[in-house]
Each structure stands twice: as structure tokens, then as C-alpha cells.
Amino acid sequence: MRGWPDPPRPFSVNGELSPGGYPLLDAFPGFTEVEAFGRYPFPRRRTLAVARRTTIQVIRDRTWMYVAPHEIPSWAKEYGWTPFASATDCIVVGRYHLAKSRPAVLYLDILHEFLHLLQRADGRELWDVSNGYVDSPTELESYGFSVAEARRLGVPDSLLRRYLKVEWVSAADHRRLLKNLDVASGKKR
């Protein structure tokens, strides 16, 4: 395989949404019906309840996707980040990302972010960066879940390396994340 595969059916992306709030399945129809949804490490009943109450907030910012914090983290201002906050279960996605990114990338992103909502519903802290982003237990679990699904779909490590390269981590942190997730670094030793 050279490029990204199609996400599994019946998952699809509604890339035509304007900025605003929408039910999860209006943005990502079929999400609760894919095999990976049934593999979340939480009881299915609870997983479906979280899905029913989750909204997607499409914003104009040229951002990727993240879980809206209930309150803006104290460290956010230090990094120049002003996230959309919500008292409810909400996943934020940038309009450009939703409209232009490959459906498989959006599929892996929503798998990742939805697992964060389940972690939060389980009482886990999502915004603790005391160990660093790439060593955060919630990030490692969520990325691990998405990487496992990507591999099931046949995504090669060369694409996973690019997928896992996010602008807010250093090159050294990116290498550590790859190692933590057992994704080949691509460097000859």
C-alpha cells in the first residue's frame, strides 16, 4: 500500500459542515457502527451513551481535532493556546481539517479523541502535562488505539510517522512517541 486506505464502512465524513455545533454522527456518520468502536476498552452501553451526548464543534481556526476542556487549562495561555471550552462532551475540529484532510486521517483522529472522552468519563485527567505530552498515559492509550486500528487497515509505518508528527512536539518527543507506540522511526541505525 502506498497511500492512505479508505476508512471502514459505514464511516464517512461530512466535510460540508459550517462552523457551529453538531451531533457527533452528523459530522461522522457510521462512526458507532465500525468494528473499532466495539473495541473501546469500556462497556459498550457506556460507550454508546457518551457517543449520543457528544457534539462536534466546527471552528474557523486552522486547527486539527481535540477534546474541548471543561475549563481552559492553566498552562494554555503560556503556550498561546485559547481552546474552545465546553461543559459538555465536545470534540473540536477545524473547518479546514474537516473539509480537506483524508477521510482515513479524520477516522483515526475521531477514534483517538473519542477515547479521550471515554477516559474523562472514567475520571481520568486529560490535561495533565506534568509528564509531557508524549508520555501522558491518556495520550499513549489513545494514540495506541488509533495506531492499532491504522495497522489493521494496512497503514505502513511511513504514513504513521507523518500522522504522529504534530506541531506541538519537538523532534526528540516525536521519536520518543514513535518508540512508545512501536512505530519504526525510519532511521537507519
- Would you say residue 185 lies in a domain? no
The reported pTM is 0.94
* Structural domain boundaries enclosing 92: 20-180
Q: Is residue 187 part of a domain?
A: no
In this prediction, residue 152 carries a pLDDT of 97
Note whether residue 158 is domain-resident.
Answer: yes
Task: Write the DSSP assignment of 166-179 as a string of letters.
Answer: -TTS-HHHHHHHHH
* Domain count for the chain: 1
Annotate 80-137 with DSSP letters as a single string.
T------SS-EEEEEHHHHHHS-HHHHHHHHHHHHHHHHHHHTT--S---TT-GGG-H
7 in a structural domain:
no
pLDDT in tens, the chain (189 residues): 568 999 999 999 999 999 999 999 999 999 999 999 999 999 999 999 999 999 999 999 889 999 999 999 888 888 888 899 999 999 999 999 999 999 999 999 999 999 999 999 999 999 777 888 889 999 999 999 999 999 999 999 999 999 999 888 899 999 999 999 999 987 654
In a domain, 11, yes or no: no
User: Considering the domain boundaries, does residue 119 fall inside one?
Assistant: yes
Asked if 163 contacts 177 with a C-beta cutoff of 8 angstroms, the reply is no
Q: Provide the pLDDT for residue 189.
A: 42
